[in-house]
Amino acid sequence: MGALNAESISKNFSTAEARLEVLVDISLRLAPGESLAILGPSGSGKSTLLAILGTLDRPTSGTMKIGDVDPFKLAEPLLAAFRNKQIGFVFQDHHLLPQCTVLENVLVPFLGSGSAGKLEIDEATQLIERVGLSQRLLHRPAQLSGGEKQRVAIARALVRKPVLVLADEPTGNLDGTTAAEVARLLLDLQLEQKSMLVVVTHSRPLAEQMQRRSSLENGRLVECV
Ligand code: ADP
Ligand code: MG
């Protein structure tokens, strides 16, 4: 399984008024099984950095490798397939499909590479059981609590055993107790799968559960001691 190696990542946004330097010369290495919390005030570039690590956006300069692959050198269909298999996303809002059941939502990542067969359905069902929702397989998101929806989102992110899991304020909409449970689950599964985890969070308790912590300050990523 591959490591993450980002070198000298910078990102500028040019608007009519100004050129914003959001990320400046960021280098970041993660090994399989490692977890990193990224802290920093609103507007400091946390989501921008996650979007680049997740190959959803391209850096203005700098290079990145996930395992042996430089995703930004892949043509778009190959990049989409790579992202779909190797990267799992958890957002602050669950982003579940409202018309689909829990099981169907967790199967979504398999659809990019064809339809889901018995093997995929078995894997999804097992993971749904693992996140404590085996009695909710045919529920729809509107019939679930906030914590349950995030558990489904975690199962969807991890169902293909991605090498890299990215979470943007995954517990931001949950109460304290539920947030702690959801965070524990995400970390337990990440350790079981030996994937790499990067979590953007304002929550100190969540950040403390990660192996490493860094904060974004004036566009630079500073390791917290
Ligand atoms: P955070 O997630 O830390 O709150 P973001 O990464 O969302 O911060 O945004 C960082 C900065 O970049 C903000 O000032 C925001 O306005 C700016 N920004 C983000 N995306 C764009 C974009 N597509 N075009 C122009 N500016 C952007
Ligand atoms: Mg953000």
pLDDT digits (tens, 9 = 90+) for 35-66: 999 999 999 999 999 999 999 999 999 999 99
Q: Taking residues 14-19, report their average pLDDT.
A: 89
By most ligand atoms within 8 Å of CB, the mutation choice from 10, 19, 48 for ligand 1 is 48
In short, whether 43's Cβ falls inside 6 Å of ligand 1 is yes
Between 115 and 5, where is the model more confident? 5
Q: Taking residues 91-100, report their average pLDDT.
A: 94
DSSP label of 16: S
Could you give the angle at the alpha carbon of 129 between the alpha carbons of 143 and 38, nearest 5°?
Answer: 80
In this prediction the pTM is 0.95
**Number of domains composing the chain:** 1
Largest CA distance in the chain: 54
- Phi, psi values for residue 142, rounded to 5°: -65, -20
pLDDT at 1: 67
pLDDT at 115: 78
CB 221 within 8 A of CB 214: yes
CB 137 within 8 A of CB 106: no
* Atom 19 of ligand 1, nearest CA residue: 48
Is the four-CA dihedral 60, 61, 62, 67 of positive or negative sign?
positive
Q: Taking residues 172-194, report their average pLDDT.
A: 94
pLDDT at 114: 74
Q: Give me the count of residues in the chain.
A: 225
Q: Per residue in 127-149, pLDDT tens?
A: 999 999 999 999 999 999 999 99
Record the tokens describing residue 69, joined without a space.
Answer: 């692959």
Q: In the β-sheet with 212-217, what is the strand arrangement from edge to edge?
A: 87-90, 164-168, 196-200, 35-39, 212-217, 220-223
By most ligand atoms within 8 Å of CB, the mutation choice from 13, 15, 56, 92 for ligand 1 is 13
Is 120 a residue whose pLDDT tops 90?
yes
Q: Taking residues 8-16, report their average pLDDT.
A: 94
Residue 101 binned pLDDT confidence (cut-offs 50, 70, 90): very high
- Average model confidence (pLDDT) across the chain: 95
Q: Which domain holds residue 131?
A: 4-223
Between 182 and 115, where is the model more confident? 182
Q: How many Cβ atoms are within 10 Å of 159's Cβ, its own excluded?
A: 22
User: How far does CA 126 lie from the centroid of its chain?
Assistant: 20
pLDDT at 225: 74
**Three-state SS for 39?**
strand
Residue 67 binned pLDDT confidence (cut-offs 50, 70, 90): very high
- Phi, psi values for residue 128, rounded to 5°: -60, -40
Kindly report the CATH number assigned to the domain that includes residue 141.
3.40.50.300
CA 17, CA 15: separation in Å to the nearest integer?
5
